């Protein structure tokens, strides 16, 4: 057997991105050794295409294989907890796509299991691994826009019917849009500002796609107060027809972020600032290239998952082999879930809600 780390991937609709590890052996110290999906056609197609030696429809069998060191979980959201539990109990390291889990209790259980079994755990919050967002974060960290006062982030998914066409579980289960969608911009803002102290949220249902239960909210406006006193707004629009200009448009990108500071401002793909915040200093502009890496953006529709997944596979490899901490680890994932849980508490009680951060 190879001395590389063995990866088993559960769920091939999104998890197929991870299979590209096998196409780039010089870039990775791991290899895909097993795949799992409920659809035989996917198993046959991807097993052949990526030379994966083992395929099964039983995720328990995959997790318990001795040649699997890392389990990649890309299953429907509500199945994550059971798979996380079995993987950790079998001594596996875990990569779990967002959302980590779908309740505060499950987040607490995940933390308990990771600490008990002492495994590496990475939450696949893709925004943190997309080149454009990494460049914006680097620019923010340079201090050019000064101290942040306010921010906003969005998840404007104007073509959810396409997602429903690809996976019926999202409307049959159905997927919880705060955990499954709002986790993107919430984690994005947590990346900049740390722990959220308090939230206030509103939600409304949508008749745009009647497959989704009409008594459940799909659109949300969420206000956040961070412990460092930054105020932020999150817009979740999953029950709209479509956003103008496309998903990477300057008008309203699907995954936008804006930060308003004492020296300048970042808005999506653009920034402007005055050195030191001096009013007499010349205005300077920075424009971030949304097409800088083909694997991140294809110029038509946001396609950042492939490169993001490959980047975080490299991170967990490094952390396992060098016993280093993972950046987007189980605690980061749990604090995002705790913020989502507070959003629902706010909606249900019609008032602001405190966020649990004591993990």
DSSP 19: G
Question: Is it the case that residue 5 has pLDDT exceeding 80?
Answer: yes
* C-alpha to C-alpha distances, 268 to 136, 154, 248, 287, nearest whole angstrom: 9, 10, 9, 9
pLDDT digits (tens, 9 = 90+) for 229-253: 999 999 999 999 888 877 777 888 8
Mean pLDDT of 187-204: 98
pTM for the model = 0.95
pLDDT of residue 298: 47
* C-alpha to C-alpha distances, 169 to 75, 163, 166, 180, 255, nearest whole angstrom: 10, 10, 9, 12, 23
pLDDT digits (tens, 9 = 90+) for 276-324: 999 999 999 999 977 655 555 444 443 457 888 999 999 999 999 999 9
pLDDT digits (tens, 9 = 90+) for 321-359: 999 999 999 999 999 999 999 999 999 999 999 999 999
Give every CB contact of residue 49 below 8 A, 6+ residues apart in sequence: 19
pLDDT of residue 250: 83
The full length of the chain comes to 359
Span(s) in the chain for CATH 3.40.50.720: 5-127+308-329
Mean pLDDT of 190-216: 97
Helix (H) or strand (E) holding 178: none
Mean pLDDT of 34-55: 97
β 257-261/264-267 pair status: antiparallel
Mean pLDDT of 143-153: 98
pLDDT digits (tens, 9 = 90+) for 257-278: 999 999 999 999 999 999 999 9
Report, at the CATH architecture level, how domain 5-127+308-329 is classified.
Answer: 3-Layer(aba) Sandwich (3.40)
Mean pLDDT of 220-236: 98
C-alpha 338: how far from its chain's center? 15
* Count of Cβ atoms closer than 10 Å to residue 168 Cβ: 11
Mean pLDDT of 28-55: 97
What integer best gives the mean pLDDT of the chain? 94
pLDDT of residue 293: 59
Q: Answer with the residue of higher pLDDT: 218 or 252.
A: 218
pLDDT of residue 158: 79
Q: By C-alpha distance, which of 286, 248, 272 is closest to 130?
A: 248
Range with the poorest average pLDDT among 29-38, 158-167, 290-299, 349-358: 290-299
Mean pLDDT of 198-211: 96
Mean pLDDT of 215-224: 97
Question: Is it the case that residue 15 has pLDDT exceeding 80?
Answer: yes
Q: How far is 209 from 314, CA to CA, in rounded Å?
A: 38
| CB crowding 101-118: b at 16 or more within 10 Å, else e | bbbbebbbbbbebbeebe
Span(s) in the chain for CATH 3.30.360.10: 128-302+335-354
E-strand stretches of 60-195 = 70-73, 93-97, 121-124, 148-156
Strand partners, 93: 70
pLDDT digits (tens, 9 = 90+) for 58-103: 999 999 999 999 999 999 999 999 999 999 999 999 999 999 999 9
Choose the CATH number for 128-302+335-354 among 3.40.605.10, 2.40.37.10, 3.20.20.370, 3.30.360.10: 3.30.360.10
Cβ(334)–Cβ(107) under 8 Å?
yes
Q: How far is 94 from 230, CA to CA, in rounded Å?
A: 32
Q: Phi and psi for 108 in degrees, rounded to 5?
A: -65, -40
């Amino acid at each position: 057997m190879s001395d590389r780390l063995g990866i088993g991937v559960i769920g091939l609709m999104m998890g197929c991105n991870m299979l590209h590890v096998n196409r780039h052996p010089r870039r990775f110290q791991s290899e895909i050794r097993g795949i799992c999906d409920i659809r035989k056609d996917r198993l046959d197609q991807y097993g052949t295409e990526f030379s994966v030696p083992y395929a099964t429809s039983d995720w328990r069998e995959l997790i318990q294989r001795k040649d699997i060191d890392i389990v990649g979980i890309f299953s429907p959201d509500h199945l994550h907890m059971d798979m996380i539990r079995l993987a950790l109990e079998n001594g596996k390291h875990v990569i779990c796509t967002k959302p980590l889990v779908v309740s505060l209790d499950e987040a607490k259980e995940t933390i308990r299991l990771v600490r008990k079994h002492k495994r590496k755990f990475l939450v696949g919050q893709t925004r943190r691994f997309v080149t454009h967002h990494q460049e914006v974060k680097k620019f923010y960290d340079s201090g050019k826009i000064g101290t942040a006062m306010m921010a906003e982030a969005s998840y404007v998914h104007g073509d959810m019917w396409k997602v429903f066409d690809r996976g019926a579980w999202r409307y049959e289960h159905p997927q919880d849009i705060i955990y499954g969608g709002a986790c993107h911009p919430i984690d994005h803002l947590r990346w900049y500002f740390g722990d959220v102290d308090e939230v206030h949220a509103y939600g409304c249902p949508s008749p745009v796609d009647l497959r989704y239960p009409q008594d459940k909210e799909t659109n949300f406006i969420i206000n956040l107060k961070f412990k460092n006193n930054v105020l932020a707004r999150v817009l979740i629009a999953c029950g709209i027809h479509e956003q103008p200009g496309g998903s990477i448009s300057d008008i309203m990108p699907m995954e936008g972020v804006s930060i308003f500071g004492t020296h300048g401002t970042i808005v999506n793909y653009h920034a402007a600032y005055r050195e030191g915040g001096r009013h007499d200093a010349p205005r300077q502009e920075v424009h971030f290239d949304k097409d800088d890496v083909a694997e991140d953006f294809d110029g038509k529709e946001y396609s950042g998952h492939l490169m993001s997944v490959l980047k975080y596979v490299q991170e967990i490899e490094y952390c396992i082999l060098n016993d280093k901490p993972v950046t987007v680890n189980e605690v980061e994932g749990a604090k995002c879930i705790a913020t989502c849980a507070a959003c629902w508490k706010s909606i249900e009680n019609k008032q602001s809600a405190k966020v649990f951060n004591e993990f």
